[in-house]
Structure 1
Amino acid sequence: MKVYELRNVSYRYPTGEWALRNINMDIEKGETVAIVGPNGAGKTTLLKLMDALVLPSEGEILFEGKPITEETMTDPEFRRKVGFLFQNPDVMLFSATVLEDVAFGPVHLWGKEEGLKRAREELRKLGIERLAERHPYSLSGGEKKKASIACVTSMEPEVLLLDEPTRDLDLRNRNFVLDMIGKWKAEGRTVVVVTHDLRLIRLADRVYVLKGEVLFEGTPRELFSRPELIESANLDVPEIVKLFHMLGLRETPLSVEEAVEVLKGLLRQGEV
């Protein structure tokens, strides 16, 4: 089942500059899709279009087979199904306490008592119940990211749109976000993530390279097999990929562990 269908979608800023031109994209239910590209490529704008925060200047976006229109912007069912994690957590944290922020959506959907119950449960699931009564501005960067994730997941969305979820986080908090995305993937949720994080790209089923238009669509392995395309997307070519290319090896490993297994196999065959 297709969750999203984008047909010749273009978006023009109020200044008249085109952010996106003729985007065609299908996203299947349960897929994890990574969107990569240089700064200014239109990646965040694309997520906003998919979240019905803005509408296309040209073309059409279908969500579960139905066109996204102005009515979609305020449709409670769409807002429950689709969760948007903004790059900057401060955009999502505006109440006096973390609990109030996390409960904001659930209270509107299920009433105060049930909404607060769900919010507390979500904080517990994420291991941050201790933050419930804290003011959001007193939190560290990692704590803000976790609180903003709770704001999204407390609505139990089926689709998660994530804008640079690991940016500016230390290793432990990056690992936390990666684990969460792996969990959502295992649960069969649909995840669309804008990222420069190579480890996160490896989790994706498919990758799109964007630069105002779609330059590439394929698997992470297909992307990593083309270093020139990785560089055009403003990504670092993984060192292990550089090594395999320098050695003239055809394989494109997605991790060090995979590279070790490939090399062991070649050693057994006497090819290296």
Structure 2
Amino acid sequence: MDAIVSALKIGKLPEGPFARTSEGRIDLRGVEIKVPLALEGFVAEGVDLSYASLGKLLCRRCVLADWIFDHSSVVLLNNGTEVSRSSFGNTRLTGSASTGGARFVECVFHSTEIEGAIFKEAEFLKCDFGGCALKNIEFGTSALQKVRINGRLEKCFFRGELRECDFVNAVFFDCAFYGAEFTGCSISDHALLFDNWRSAFQVIQEGSRSRSMSADSRQALEQMCRIWLKVSDYTKQELIDRRDLQEAYGEEVANEVYAYLAEIKSAAKAVG
């Protein structure tokens, strides 16, 4: 194992006894690296780190193509690195962070567990998040383009541009889109995307006082309005998921409130 660490640190891929997988990748499956490992300016293609325990992997200005992290556990600290055509299937990326222009291109994150991660000024291009559990993630001003997310997102925060993304099978729970911009994105039939949130919120807030609805629904809506009031000045667009409301307020209240919001959305669209 020391030979692997030493080789990686000087920017070389270990050969010899590790051989290659049937797909032709350097075979490092199952390796266990307990100490933090820093890679600087590392350029490598075709590495299989499936079922590995990598601890903290710090990549500065690296170029990693066709790497396999399936079923591995790693805290990926990615600074200015590009990761392309790589797989993170059933991978634990809890606590990971990507900053300084990090890019993920055509990467697959299937059934990946990502919690408490920070992606600051990162870029995700043509990536696929299938069946993932994303929780407490700060996407910051990261840009997502042609990204598909199929799974549950909880307490995730977006501030950047979301372009041509597929959110049809994504479920948003307590997520926020402070300053985020949706362009050409597809969303679920269970969600409403308000393009001009400040204007829509004013209508929602004013209408909630005269809207005929149950006491529980009115109370829920008033509570939501108090929360939205704090961010209405700098939230450009807002996405509201019916399933998020159902989890927070119960199905009956959620459906009544959602129906009211859908009317506001429909009216705004008609005017536009």
- TM-score (ref. length: structure 1): 0.27
Bigger Rg, structure 1 or 2: 2
Greater RCO (Cα-Cα under 8 Å, separation 6 or more): 1
Higher strand share: 2
| TM-score, structure 2 as length reference | 0.27
